[in-house]
Amino acid sequence: MSASQWKPPPTPPKASPSPVPVLPPTGGLNASGKIDLVEIQRKIAEAKARVTASGASLPRSPVASMRTADKIPAAPPQIALDEAGNLDLKAMLDKGIIPKRETLTSKANERKAAAAAAAAKPNKEAKTLKIEQPPEDFTDTTKNPYYDPNLHAQAAPKLRRSRPLKFVQPGKFVQQANQERAKAQLEKLKQEIAESVRKAGMEVEMDVSDKAIKKEPPPAAEWWDAPFLPNKTYDDLETAPVNPDELGALVTLYVHHPIPIKPPTDNSAATPVRSLMLTKKERKKLRRQRRQEAQKEKQDRIRLGLLPPDPPKVKISNLMRVLGQEAIQDPTKIEAKVRKEMEMRQKQHELANAQRQLTPEERRAKIMNKLKEDQKTSNEVAVFK
């Protein structure tokens, strides 16, 4: 093939971009199911009107925004690196590349710095309180009855000075407590010595008796009789007796009750304690507990071999259960033996009750002793009209 006969291959036609189908809204279909262009244009106009009314502008394309850009963004800040080539966060924080985070500690430090700066400034002179003298009309008591010349104004109070802390020395209160204990012990010892001397009859020699103590003489007139006596002595009753007409002013409806005085009895003596009254149920319970304890103690003694075991308590009701084979061999003999043991136990019980019972003379003496004991504390008398 020669060069004149060669022809370039035909260029293929450029494929046009296929149009993107625009799906109409569901509201743009008519009754027959076809697209209604009039309805679509109406909805677009309504949307544009709503956007215009709200003040928002339609989104622009990125090309238009780049064309209308007035300023070019600034270059990013230079990143600080250390000697090893790693990021130096501290240097970036100092240069302000990385913003500092505000915390409570940083705010407190700022307040402290502001307070220190304010303290460094020269303080203004403290204003002193000036007390002006009141006018003469105010101090004149004839014109101003409310003025008291005894009350005069004092100077302005001085500023309060800070006082240092005074700490309690260790052991101070312990020492005070020891001193109080020593005093109480000394007083108790003196009282014991005085009581022992008084018991030994050596009051005169030791000069601790009641006679050695000087007492004040009785007054010339008691305080309750003094208003009725002109000269405050009882001799006035002979010369000038009390006028009954004046009793209405001297005697009132108020009653003066004297201070009660403790009776001169032995306080150390223990007060008699009466037995507690128990109900019948409580008495039975105490008796049952007491008998159980006694029976348990007796069983312990039998286990230790201190007491011989009790013989079996055979009765007619438990005859066959206790004796068993012996009762089967000779029941008549065993029954007679059991009845005899039952009679012996009954006689021992009655004999023990008779021994514990008091004779008429002993019962009478017991009653008299009880009456004497009751009379030592108090006498109870019933009076009937």
- 63 by Cβ neighbours in 10 Å (0-12 / 13-18 / 19+) ranks as exposed
Tokens matching residue 234: 């009882």
Rounded to the nearest 5 degrees, what angle is found at the Cα of 285, between the Cα atoms of 313 and 343? 25
- pLDDT for residue 18: 46
pLDDT tens for the chain, 385 residues long, are 554 556 555 665 554 444 444 444 455 555 565 567 778 888 888 888 887 876 544 445 444 444 444 445 555 666 677 777 777 777 777 777 777 665 656 677 778 888 887 776 665 555 666 666 777 888 888 888 888 877 765 555 556 778 888 888 888 999 999 999 999 999 998 888 888 877 776 554 445 455 555 677 888 888 888 877 878 888 877 877 777 776 777 777 788 787 887 776 666 666 666 778 899 999 999 999 999 999 999 999 999 999 999 888 888 888 888 888 887 888 888 899 999 999 999 999 999 999 999 999 999 999 999 888 877 777 677 888 7
Beta-ladder partners of 87: 81
DSSP assignment of 344-361, as one string?
Answer: HHHHHHHHHHHHHSPPHH
CA pair distance 53, 44, nearest whole angstrom: 14
Tokens matching residue 85: 């080539």
- pLDDT for residue 67: 47
Tokens matching residue 71: 């300023």
- pLDDT for residue 129: 61
Query: Distance of CA 76 to CAs 73, 83, 243, Å?
Result: 9, 22, 121
Secondary structure class of 369 (helix, strand, coil): helix
Q: Where are the domains of the chain?
A: 176-215, 220-249, 280-310, 311-354
Secondary structure class of 378 (helix, strand, coil): coil
Q: Label residues 142-155 b or e (16+ Cβ within 10 Å = b).
A: eeeeeeeeeeeeee
Largest alpha-carbon pair distance within the chain?
Answer: 188
CA pair distance 250, 245, nearest whole angstrom: 10
DSSP assignment of 247-311, as one string?
Answer: HHHH--S--PPPPP---SS-TTSPPP-PPPP--HHHHHHHHHHHHHHHHHHHHHHHHHTSSPPPP
What's the start-to-end Cα distance of the chain, in Å? 174
Tokens matching residue 190: 């003196």
CA pair distance 140, 147, nearest whole angstrom: 8
Tokens matching residue 302: 């039998």
- pLDDT for residue 203: 52
- pLDDT for residue 165: 87
Tokens matching residue 1: 């093939």
- pLDDT for residue 361: 95
Rounded to the nearest 5 degrees, what angle is found at the Cα of 226, between the Cα atoms of 223 and 227? 120
Q: Dihedral (C-alpha) 226, 232, 238, 242: value to the nearest 10 degrees? A: -40
Q: CA neighbours within 13 Å on the CB side: how many for 321?
A: 7
pTM of this structure: 0.26
- CB neighbours of 285 closer than 8 A, spacing ≥ 6? none
Contact 81, 88 (CB under 8 A): yes
- CB neighbours of 51 closer than 8 A, spacing ≥ 6? 57, 58
CA pair distance 275, 321, nearest whole angstrom: 46
